Amino acid sequence: MSRQTSTSTAAALSSRDAAHQGWHRDAGDPRASHHYHERRFDVTAVKLLPGEYYVSGDDIVLTTVLGSCVSACLYDSGVGVGGMNHFMLPDAGEGVASSSARYGSYAMELLINELLKRGARRKSLEAKVFGGANVLRGFTENHVGMRNSKFVREYLAAERIRIVAEDLLDTHPRKIFFFPKTARVLVNSMPLAGATAALATESAYGKRLQSAPVQGDVELF
């Protein structure tokens, strides 16, 4: 597939998803917007950066690189719609009721609500979760990845969303490929040297969270 065709396909996909979801992206919109052609699978891909999420029922792949952050891939296989997020908790306490956890709750609620808007059934949602490695310098004593992993497990348990697969903790970055229409996931372990740029972005995101206000609550329906 030519570069021109790939770009057109990605643009068309973005337009369809935008129309279906009824939104117009602005500077504060956390939906991922980087579309490209993934040659490995010969499909349009959407790349998620820290703090972003994306939901689709199309034959595409959602991808991200995780260090200490976690991604929850939620889906309703009966409907054929799924989505993924990419987030971490700032260093502000532990537990699902802490102020720190509100960042994670916000990321999860945005994802769940968008899935429900796209036709997913609340009782049919299942999850596959990834990330939470101990890779960021300066976080050896307060393991950010462990806190993120603990949060996503506890949150999904509280929401009664079954985790059917996980690859959490350890010390290596991961590249995730999630196919939302089929719920298929591929996970590639990466050497630190191969994820330098992604980890730098993640580290900067973590520092921004230290001073950023907690996002407003999102009511689940």
The CATH number given to whatever domain includes residue 129 is: 3.30.1330.200
Average pLDDT of the segment spanning 45-56: 96
Residue 217 resides in a domain: no
Domain-embedded: residue 221? no
In a domain, 14, yes or no: yes
197 lies in some domain: yes
pLDDT of 17: 55
**Quick check: 97 pLDDT over 90?**
no
Residue 199: per-residue pLDDT = 73
Structural domain span for residue 134:
3-211
Q: Is the pLDDT of residue 8 over 50?
A: no
Show Cβ contacts of residue 215 under 8 Å, excluding neighbours closer than 6 positions: 102, 103, 106
* Residue 33, domain member (yes or no): yes
| Residue 130 placed within a domain | yes
Residue 177 belongs to a domain: yes
pLDDT value at position 191? 81
- DSSP run (H or E) holding 148: helix 144-158
Beta strands in 148-192 (DSSP E): 162-168, 174-179, 184-189
Which of 2-11, 88-97, 99-108 shows the highest mean pLDDT? 99-108
Task: Determine the pLDDT at residue 90.
Answer: 66
